[in-house]
Amino acid sequence: MRYLKYFSYLLLVCLFTASCTKLQNENSSIVPLDKALNSIDDLRLYVYSLYKPFASSNGDDQVWGFYATLDAGYYSITDNTTDILTTQKANASSVPTLCNLHNWQLNSSNLMNPLTNKYWSKVTYISKARMAAIRINATSFEPSIKKPYVAEAKAVIGWLGMILYDVFGPVPFATDEQLIAWDKDPLSSTHLPKPTDQQFLAYIESNLQEAIPDLPVKQADWGRITKASATMMLMRIHFMQRDYVKAKSDAEALYAMGVPGGGTTYNLQDEYQNIFKLSNAKNNEIIQAIPCDGSKDGSPNQWYCAAMPKDYPHISPNAKGSSTHRMRWAYYDTYELTDDRLKTIVSKYTNTSGTVVLRGKGELTGGAIPFKYDQDPNTNGNFAHNDVVVFRYAEVLLSYAEAINEISGPTAQAVELVNKVRRRAKLKNLQDIFPAKIATQAAFRGAILEERGHELYCEGVRHMDLVRYGKFVQNGKLGLSTSDQALYNIDPLRYRFPIPPDAVIQSGGVIKQNDGY
**AA letter at 11:** L
Q: Provide the pLDDT for residue 184.
A: 92
What is the mean pLDDT of the segment spanning 124-145? 97
What is the mean pLDDT of the segment spanning 35-54? 93
**Range with lowest mean pLDDT among 26-40, 219-233, 245-259:** 26-40
Q: Provide the pLDDT for residue 387.
A: 98
Query: CB-based contacts of 406: which residues, under 8 Å, 6+ apart?
Result: 244, 441, 445
20: pLDDT strictly greater than 60: no
Distances (CA, A) of 355 to 86, 111, 348, 374: 24, 36, 11, 22
Angle (CA) 463-466-468 rounded to 5° is: 105
- Residue 15 — very low, low, confident or very high, per pLDDT cuts 50/70/90? very low
Distances (CA, A) of 274 to 269, 278, 319, 467: 7, 9, 22, 30
Query: CB-based contacts of 317: which residues, under 8 Å, 6+ apart?
Result: none
42: pLDDT strictly greater than 90: yes
Q: How far apart are CA 509 and CA 207, in angstroms?
A: 28
Query: CB-based contacts of 425: which residues, under 8 Å, 6+ apart?
Result: 272, 339, 340, 341, 454, 455
Residue 49: exposure state from Cβ atoms within 10 A (0-12, 13-18, ≥19): buried
Q: How far apart are CA 63 and CA 119, in angstroms?
A: 10
Residues 174/127, Cβ–Cβ less than 8 Å: yes
Phi/psi at 45 (nearest 5 deg)?
A: -70, -35
What is the mean pLDDT of the segment spanning 198-203? 98
**Range with lowest mean pLDDT among 13-22, 99-108, 194-203:** 13-22
Number of residues in the chain: 517
Q: How far apart are CA 82 and CA 63, in angstroms?
A: 25
413: pLDDT strictly greater than 70: yes
Q: Which helix (H) or strand (E) holds 357?
A: strand 356-357
Model confidence, pTM = 0.94
Phi/psi at 29 (nearest 5 deg)?
A: -150, 170
- Residue 30 — very low, low, confident or very high, per pLDDT cuts 50/70/90? low
Distances (CA, A) of 338 to 34, 84, 218, 335, 454: 63, 19, 36, 8, 13
Q: Provide the pLDDT for residue 296.
A: 86
| Residue 17 burial (CB count, 10 A) | 19
What is the mean pLDDT of the segment spanning 343-363? 97
CA 56 to centroid of chain Cα atoms: 11
Q: Output the average pLDDT for the chain.
A: 92
Instruction: Return the CA Rg of the chain.
Output: 22
Residues 447/454, Cβ–Cβ less than 8 Å: no
Q: How far apart are CA 103 and CA 98, in angstroms?
A: 6
| Residue 219 burial (CB count, 10 A) | 16
Query: CB-based contacts of 412: which residues, under 8 Å, 6+ apart?
Result: none
Q: How far apart are CA 200 and CA 206, in angstroms?
A: 10
Q: Provide the pLDDT for residue 223.
A: 97
Looking only at the bridges linking them, the beta strands covering 356-357 and 367-370 are: unpaired
Half-sphere exposure of 269 (CA within 13 A, CB side): 20
Question: What is the tens place of the pLDDT at every residue in 77-111?
Answer: 999 999 999 999 888 899 999 999 999 989 889 99
Q: Provide the pLDDT for residue 63.
A: 62
Q: How far apart are CA 17 and CA 11, in angstroms?
A: 10
Q: Provide the pLDDT for residue 209.
A: 98
Distances (CA, A) of 185 to 1, 32, 179, 180, 189: 11, 15, 10, 9, 8
Q: Provide the pLDDT for residue 13.
A: 34
Can you tell me whether residue 193 is helix, strand or coil?
A: coil
Q: For residue 93, give the DSSP letter.
A: T
Q: Provide the pLDDT for residue 8.
A: 35
H-helix segments, 369-409:
393-408
Q: How far apart are CA 512 and CA 517, in angstroms?
A: 10
357: pLDDT strictly greater than 90: yes
Q: How far apart are CA 392 and CA 338, in angstroms?
A: 23
Q: Provide the pLDDT for residue 21.
A: 28
* Beta-bridge partner residues of 369: 346
- Residue 25 — very low, low, confident or very high, per pLDDT cuts 50/70/90? very low
65: pLDDT strictly greater than 80: yes
Q: How far apart are CA 411 and CA 427, in angstroms?
A: 20
* Beta-bridge partner residues of 6: 29
Residues 158/230, Cβ–Cβ less than 8 Å: yes
Q: Provide the pLDDT for residue 35.
A: 72
Percent pLDDT > 90 in the chain is: 87
Q: For residue 298, give the DSSP letter.
A: S
What is the mean pLDDT of the segment spanning 136-161? 98
- Residue 386 — very low, low, confident or very high, per pLDDT cuts 50/70/90? very high
CA 427 to centroid of chain Cα atoms: 27
Distances (CA, A) of 398 to 188, 247, 268, 502: 47, 12, 12, 40
Residue 156: exposure state from Cβ atoms within 10 A (0-12, 13-18, ≥19): buried
| Residue 317 burial (CB count, 10 A) | 8
Cα–Cα nearest to 174, from 187, 159, 155, 157? 157
Phi/psi at 349 (nearest 5 deg)?
A: -160, 160
